[in-house]
Structure 1
Amino acid sequence: MQIAFLLRFVTGTAFATQGDPRLPRILAGAAAWLCASVFAYLFNGVMDVDEDRRNHSERPIARGALPLRRAVAVTLTAALLALLLSALCGGLIGWVVAFLALGWVYSAPPLAAKQASLPCAVVVFGLGWTSYAGGAAAGGNGLTVPAVVFATAMAAWMALVGAVVKDFSDAEGDAGAGRRTLAATRGLHAARRLAIAGALAVGVGAPAAAGAWAPAVLPGTLPLALGAGWVTVRCLRGRHTEHRDRHARRDAYRAFMITQYTANLVMLVTLVGSR
């Protein structure tokens, strides 16, 4: 998770960096964003420890590799470091505060957006979008139209696809914990249909938006079109594997993850190569 958020941040930075990059500012910003993502991940692990153990998760807190008390201390330290480092980067601190707040809202009562699919998707979209915006702030030139188009496409991929398929492997445990995600309340068949619809919407909409408003980001959106097909195939195959082990249920999530890594890397290489 941390690598994915850092990659989004660096891609946002590449959109906003022109001429001689301000390397110390960018490095401090990247360190701040890494700390912020560590906070979001560990805070979620602390709040989800019971559900994760019920789902036999391999996350460090759930499997006992990171004691709960130590995890709390590291979580608070990561948030403090994120704020301190971002203060060195001028306009970045506002985006870090927004990201930390979204991480809190995702996991903690009273909202605990993770508990239901719609608020989860909204918060996940915000976590993705602020990562690109934070990178653009660290780059020094702020958000441009191409950056906004790409950030919105990738955040939509996270919200409409990733936030849905991640629940496939944990449906029973989530239901037992009282969560109201689509997979837990309506079953995997309904969740697969929603994931397919979201993947196809982003896979078609992102290249179309790029072609209309920001042709420069078209190369970065093409992997989403291919990934939409891949996620669709994995979801359809899931009809025959949903009763297998947890690993098999994560096939669609792996397709989502590889697609987002590919899209960000293609966009990053494109931006660097154009200078």
Structure 2
Amino acid sequence: MPDVPRSVKPSSTYHTVRTARLCWTEARPAVQLAFLLRFVTGAVFAARDDIDLLRLLAGASAWSCASFFAYLFNGVMDVEEDRRNGSDRPIARGDLSLRRAAAIVLAAAVFALGLSAAVPGLVGWVFVFLALGWAYSAPPLAAKRASLPCALVVFGLGWTSYAGGAATAGNGLDAPALVFAGAMAAWMALVGAVVKDFSDAEGDAQAGRRTLAATRGPLVARRLAVAGAAVVGFGAPAAAWTWTPAVLPGTVPLALGAGWVIVRCLRTGHTEHHTRYARRGAYRAFMVTQYVANVVMLVTLLAAR
């Protein structure tokens, strides 16, 4: 009987594919898709004639590399907090080495800049986005460590995504686009940047973060999230109705989502002793709302062409 190998060493292709899959998971696919959706929405807003699909594809690829850089880099820099919070992300659980992740972070930034150079007007926006992604996670600013700088940087990440899409279409953001992009960036800064901390406040405090949830407690953070959701959720449709009704369909989901976030924030106060999943209910409401708002706005724009 022929000898049967006791083990087969995985091929280099297997390791490459596995590393790519783990990096993609670490970069949070749902967040990556949201940034791509913002970018495409900005491009459709600014397109005056037929959309140049080849140019849009090049720009979207550059932006995807940039957002991949920002969130994989965040995973590299967040490893202490993630482990304290019991995160199951690949770096925190030890399946993806920091060295490999850091190498791919660098490659993503290079690809983002290289691809954007092929799209006139885009490279500057990509550079700003990369700088904001760095500022969010790394010293000396490390905006993630405190609520106010975090909100400001998150607003910038959202705003530049729409502006980058518009630049790819060869134009800037007009008045309707400014209202919608401003509303969605504010939704990220005043709601998303707050509710994302609900499940991680204890570990963040142990790691030295100075966010509102870590320093003042979950009750104060929930109150701020409720206020932010109310301001953006009801202010955005009011602004659209007053100044640019064309974007009203895209802002209505913010009002519905605001109610959902507020309910989840109030319920979180009764479930803090339960699972991490339960404490992330408000964040899931935030994410679904921004998806729906962008998709509705995108469909409205395409239907009007």
TM superposition score category, shorter chain reference? over 0.9
- Contact (CA 8 Å) 2:229, 2:262: kept in 1 or not? yes
Partner of 1:193: 223
TM-aligned CA deviation for residue 60 of structure 1: 2.3
Question: Which of 55, 72, 77 does residue 47 from structure 1 map onto?
Answer: 77
Unaligned 5+ residue runs, structure 2?
Answer: 1-30
Q: 2:99 aligned to 69, 72, 86, which one?
A: 69
Alignment partner for residue 16 of structure 1, among 20, 38, 46?
46
* CA shift for structure 1 position 66: 2.1
Q: In the TM superposition, what is the alpha-carbon distance from 1:22 to its structure 2 partner?
A: 1.3
Deviation at 1:166, TM superposition (A): 0.1
Residues in 1 aligned to 2:84 and 2:266: alpha-carbon distance in whole angstroms: 26
Written as runs of structure 1 = structure 2, the 5 A alignment for 1:1-275 is 1-275=31-305
**How far apart are 1:206 and its partner, in Å?**
0.4
Counterpart Cα distance in 1 of 2:46 and 2:146:
35
Separation of aligned partners in 2, 1:218 and 1:195: 23
Q: Is the 8 A contact 2:44 2:51 kept in 1?
A: no
Paired residues in the alignment total: 275
CA distance in 1, matches of 2:155, 2:101: 26
Q: Give 3-state SS (helix, strand or coil) of 1:218's partner.
A: helix
Q: Distance in 1 between matches of 2:93 and 2:172?
A: 41
Relative to structure 2, which stretch is displaced further, 91-100 or 58-67? 58-67
- After TM superposition, give the deviation of residue 57 of structure 1 in Å: 1.2
Deviations 1:87-119, CA, capped at 9 Å, x for gaps: 011101111000000000000111100000000
Q: CA deviation at 1:252?
A: 0.3
Tell me which moved more, 167-176 or 65-74: 65-74
How far did 1:141 drift?
A: 2.1
Moved over 6 A (4+): none
Secondary structure at 1:168's aligned position in 2? coil
Which structure would you say has the larger Rg?
2
SS in 2 for 1:169: coil
> More helix per residue: 1 or 2?
1
Q: Percent identity?
A: 76
Tell me the distance in 2 between the aligned counterparts of 1:63 and 1:27. 34
Q: Which runs of 5+ in 1 are unaligned?
A: none
Q: Partners in 2 of 1:81 and 1:18 — Cα distance?
A: 28
RMSD of aligned Cα (Å): 0.8
Distance of 1:211 and 1:65 partners within structure 2: 50
Q: Deviations over 1:203-227 (max 9, x none)?
A: 1110111112211100000000000
Tell me the distance in 1 between the aligned counterparts of 2:59 and 2:298: 17
Q: Taking structure 2 as the reference length, what is the TM-score of the superposition?
A: 0.89
